[in-house]
């Protein structure tokens, strides 16, 4: 038995998220099913190996560098496993790397941090080629004000105001190491790196910064939003389609 570390990229549009669910296909499901022939699980009653993902991305969220771990009883070289998985996976899910990991490696519990990117199209008309990967927020945005607000979120804070209502984590304190707002032609990119994130936290941070960019709230209100520990104090949660898991750090 060996432990493998997988790096994946996927278009999350047609999936209910990473984790297996009853209401539709998940990334975890299609990946585990692709492993069945490799694991010799073709015999009656056999089960595919359990694949653990670093981040439980929600329905519609994409990934460039999701990481997963799996224990596999196979002597096949890593590059052969990579090719075999991609043959069996749907075209909107790709394994971009397979490597042997230390025994006991767990993609979720061993992760030290993640980077997410939220993309906003600011053009008057959204390109049909971007409609599945960018939120449409047309207009001029005060990027300088957004950056000032972002700087106030960097560090270790209680982010309860940015978690989905009804979530009950034991601890809502997280550390944001980097939060940048970049502007290019017709696009805003909000990129955040942290040790972990509450449910929908990045999308709520992006929604709050977007309101600041449009002049709907002041950058100075961020301090009060954090102190409130109330979801109603922050901005709206932006749609999942603009969010991408970029990298996982170990």
Tokens encoding 8? 């994946």
| CATH number, residue 119 | 3.30.70.660
Is the per-residue pLDDT at 67 higher than 90?
Answer: yes
Is the per-residue pLDDT at 242 higher than 80?
Answer: yes
Kindly report which listed range (70-79, 115-124, 198-207, 236-245) carries the lowest average pLDDT score.
Answer: 70-79
pLDDT band at 218 (very low <50, low <70, confident <90, very high): very high
| CATH number, residue 19 | 3.30.70.580
Helix (H) or strand (E) holding 71: strand 62-72
Kindly report which listed range (38-47, 178-187, 233-242) carries the lowest average pLDDT score.
Answer: 38-47
Specify the pairing of strand 243-249 against strand 62-72.
parallel
118 and 226 together in one domain: yes
- Token pair 């790096």 in the structure block, residue: 7
Residue 108: inside a domain: no
Predicted local confidence at residue 46, as pLDDT: 57
117 and 214 together in one domain: yes
Tokens encoding 167? 């979530």
Residue 107: inside a domain: no
What Rg value do the Cα atoms of the chain yield, rounded?
20
The angle subtended at Cα 143 by Cα 137 and Cα 146, nearest 5°, is 90
pLDDT band at 1 (very low <50, low <70, confident <90, very high): confident
Residue 13: inside a domain: yes
Tokens encoding 89? 């996976």
Q: Which domain holds residue 39?
A: 2-101
**Residues whose CB falls within 8 Å of the CB of residue 121, separated by 6 or more in sequence, listed in order:** 127, 130, 134, 135, 136, 137, 138, 186, 187
The angle subtended at Cα 133 by Cα 198 and Cα 24, nearest 5°, is 65
Of these residues, 58, 79, 92, 220, which one is catalytic?
A: 58
Measured distance CA(215)–CA(226) in Å, rounded: 19
pLDDT band at 60 (very low <50, low <70, confident <90, very high): very high
Q: Considering the chain, what percentage of its residues have pLDDT values greater than 90?
A: 87
244 and 139 together in one domain: yes
Per-residue H/E/C for 224-250:
HHHHHCCHHHCCCCCCHHHEEEEEEEC
Predicted local confidence at residue 165, as pLDDT: 78
228 and 134 together in one domain: yes
pLDDT digits (tens, 9 = 90+) for 27-51: 999 999 999 988 764 555 557 889 9
| 3-class secondary-structure state, position 171 | coil
Predicted local confidence at residue 44, as pLDDT: 53
The mean pLDDT value for 179-197 works out to 96
Kindly report which listed range (127-141, 163-177, 218-232) carries the lowest average pLDDT score.
Answer: 163-177
The mean pLDDT value for 205-226 works out to 97
Predicted local confidence at residue 39, as pLDDT: 76
Is the per-residue pLDDT at 153 higher than 90?
Answer: yes
Predicted local confidence at residue 43, as pLDDT: 52
Average predicted confidence (pLDDT) for the chain: 94
- Token pair 């061993």 in the structure block, residue: 110
Measured distance CA(244)–CA(203) in Å, rounded: 10
The answer to whether residue 195 is catalytic is no
| 3-class secondary-structure state, position 134 | coil
- With b meaning 16 or more CB within 10 Å and e meaning fewer, what string describes 188-217? bbbbbbbebbbbbbbbbbbbbbbbbbeeeb
pLDDT band at 110 (very low <50, low <70, confident <90, very high): very high
**Residues whose CB falls within 8 Å of the CB of residue 46, separated by 6 or more in sequence, listed in order:** 36, 39, 40
34 and 125 together in one domain: no
Measured distance CA(54)–CA(106) in Å, rounded: 8
């Amino acid at each position: 038995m060996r432990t493998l570390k997988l790096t994946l990229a996927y278009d999350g549009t047609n999936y209910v998220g990473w984790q297996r669910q009853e209401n539709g296909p998940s990334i975890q499901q299609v990946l585990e099913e692709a492993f069945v022939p490799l694991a010799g699980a073709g015999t009656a009653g056999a089960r595919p190996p359990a694949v653990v993902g670093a981040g439980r991305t929600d329905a519609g969220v994409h990934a460039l560098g999701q990481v997963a771990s799996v224990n596999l009883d196979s002597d096949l070289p890593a590059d052969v496993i990579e090719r075999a998985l991609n043959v069996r996976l749907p075209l909107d899910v790709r394994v971009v790397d397979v490597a042997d990991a230390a025994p006991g490696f767990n993609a979720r519990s061993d992760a030290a941090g993640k980077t997410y990117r939220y993309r906003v199209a600011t053009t008057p008309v959204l390109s049909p080629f971007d409609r599945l990967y960018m939120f449409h927020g047309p207009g001029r945005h005060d990027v300088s004000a957004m950056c000032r607000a972002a700087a106030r979120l960097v560090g270790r804070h209680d982010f309860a105001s940015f978690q989905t209502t009804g979530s009950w984590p034991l601890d809502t304190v997280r550390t944001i190491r980097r939060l940048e707002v970049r502007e290019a032609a017709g696009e805003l990119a909000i990129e955040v790196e942290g040790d972990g994130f509450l449910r929908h936290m990045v999308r709520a941070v992006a929604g709050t910064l977007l309101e600041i960019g449009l002049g709907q709230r002041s950058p100075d209100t961020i301090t009060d939003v954090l102190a409130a520990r109330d979801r109603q104090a922050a901005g709206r949660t932006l749609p999942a389609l603009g969010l991408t898991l970029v990298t996982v750090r170990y």
